[in-house]
Amino acid sequence: MISPMTAPISEQLPINWFSFTLLSPLIGGLLLAFTRQAEKAFSINVIFSAATFLGSIGLALDVLQVGAHEALNGFFFVDAYNVFLVSLTSFVALTTAIYSGPYMRFEWRERGLPNHRLRLYHAMYQLFIFGMLLGFTTNNIGLMWIALELATLATVLLVSLYRTPASIAAAWKYFMLAGMGIALALFGTILIFFTSSTIFGHSNAALTWTMLYAHASELQPTVMIMAFAFLMIGYGTKIGLVPMHTWLPDAHGEGPTPVSAVLSGLLLNLALYDLVRFKMLVDLSTGSDTAGHVMIFFGTLSLLVAALSLHKQHDIKRMFSFSSIEHMGLMTIAFGIGTPLACYAGLLHMTVHSLVKSGIFFTVGHAAQAMGSQQMDRIRGLIRHHPGIGWGLLIGTAAIAGFPPFGVFTSEFLLFSATLDSYPWLIAPLLTGLLIAFAGLFRFVQPMVYGEVAEHAITVKANMVPIYVHFTLALWLGLSIPAFLSGWYKQAAALIAGG
Partner 1 sequence: MNQLMFIQEAISIAASLMLLISFALLAQHRLLSVLHWFSAQGIVLAITTLLVALISDHDELYFSAAMTLLLKGALLPWLLWRIIMKMHIHREVEPMVNMPVTMMIALGLVLVSFHIALPIEAISDLATHNTLAIATATVFLGMLMMITRKKAVTQVIGFLSIENALFFTAIGATHGMPMIVEIGVAFDVLIAAIIFGLFFTQMRSTFDSLDIEEIEAKAKRR
Comparing CB distances to partner 1, the nearer of 233 and 333 is 233
**How near is the Cβ of 69 to partner 1 at its closest, in Å?**
21
Q: Which range touches partner 1 (CB under 8 A), out of 169-177, 313-321, 372-380, 487-495?
A: 169-177
Distance CA 490, CA 495 (A): 9
| 116 touching partner 1, by CB under 8 A | no
CA dist 212 and 193 (Å) reads 10
Min dist CB 214 to partner 1, Å, is 18
Binding-residue total with partner 1 (CB under 8 A): 45
d(CA 187, CA 230): 7
Cα–Cα distance, 137 to 14 (Å, whole number): 12
Q: How far is the CB of 291 from partner 1 (least distance, A)?
A: 17
Which residue from 119, 178, 108, 109 is spatially nearest to 149, judged by alpha carbons? 178
Our finding on whether 168 is near partner 1 (CB under 8 A) is yes
Least spacing, CB of residue 142 vs partner 1, in Å: 3
Window of 98-106, 190-198, 348-356, 453-461 that interacts with partner 1 by CB under 8 A: 190-198
| Least CB distance to partner 1 at residue 24 (A) | 21
Nearest CA to 412 among 356, 468, 358, 350?
350
Mark the segment that binds partner 1 (CB under 8 A) among 14-22, 91-99, 199-207, 485-493.
199-207
Q: Indicate the residue type of 351.
A: T
* In the complex, least distance from residue 183 CB atom to partner 1, rounded to whole angstroms: 5
CB of 25: closest distance to partner 1 in angstroms? Answer: 17
Closest alpha carbon to 375 in 364, 362, 383 = 364
Contacts of 5 (CB under 8 A, 6+ apart): 65
Q: How far is residue 135's CA from residue 31's CA, in Å, rounded to a whole number?
A: 22
Q: What's 263's DSSP letter? A: I
Contact 319, 299 (CB under 8 A): no
Using CB under 8 A, which of 179, 388, 447, 498 touches partner 1?
179
Q: How far is the CB of 181 from partner 1 (least distance, A)?
A: 10
172 or 213: CB nearest partner 1: 172
DSSP 3-state of 425: helix
Distance between CA atoms of residues 346 and 337, nearest Å: 10
Phi (first) and psi of residue 71, to 5 degrees: -150, 165
- How buried is 445 (Cβ within 10 angstroms: 0-12 exposed, 13-18 middle, 19+ buried)? buried
Contact yes or no for 21/59 (Cβ under 8 A): yes
Distance CA 187, CA 1 (A): 45
Of residues 444 through 483, those in contact with partner 1 by CB under 8 A are none
Stretch that binds partner 1, among 26-34, 88-96, 178-186, 442-450 (CB under 8 A): 178-186
Pick from 50, 66, 180, 308 the residue near partner 1 by CB under 8 A.
180
Distances (CA, A) of 225 to 188, 351, 499: 10, 29, 21
Burial 223-236 (b: 16+ CB within 10 A, else e): bbbbbbbbbbbbbb
Q: For residue 404, which phi and psi values (nearest 5 degrees)? A: -45, -55
Q: Which of 171, 267, 272, 355 binds partner 1 (CB under 8 A)?
A: 171
Binding test (CB under 8 A) with partner 1, winner from 194, 403, 416, 442: 194
Query: Element (H or E) spanning 397, and its range?
Result: helix 387-401
**Residue number with CB closer to partner 1 (30 or 190):** 190
Binders of partner 1 among residues 7 to 66 (CB under 8 A) are none
Site string for partner 1, 126-165 (x = CB under 8 A): --------------x-xx-xx--xx--x--xx--x--xxx
Name which position in 30, 190, 214, 465 contacts partner 1 (CB under 8 A).
190
For partner 1, the closer CB: 127 or 301? 127
Site string for partner 1, 207-246 (x = CB under 8 A): x------------x-xx--x--------------------
Please select the residue that binds partner 1; options are 30, 176, 214, 458, rule is CB under 8 A. Answer: 176
Q: How far is the CB of 357 from partner 1 (least distance, A)?
A: 25
- As a whole number of angstroms, the distance between CA 437 and CA 131 comes to 32
> How far apart are CB 157 and partner 1 at their closest, in Å?
7
Largest pairwise CA distance in the chain: 70
Among 10, 19, 197, 290, binds partner 1 (CB under 8 A): 197
Cβ proximity of 54 and 16 under 8 Å: no
Residue 499, judged by CB atoms within 10 A of its CB (0-12, 13-18, 19+), counts as exposed
Taking CB under 8 A as the binding criterion, the range among 29-37, 88-96, 184-192, 364-372 that sits at the site for partner 1 is 184-192
Q: Which of 35, 52, 195, 411 binds partner 1 (CB under 8 A)?
A: 195
> Which residues of the chain form contacts with partner 1 (CB under 8 A)?
140, 142-143, 145-146, 149-150, 153, 156-157, 160, 163-166, 168-173, 175-176, 179-180, 183-184, 186-187, 190-191, 193-195, 197-198, 202-204, 206-207, 220, 222-223, 226
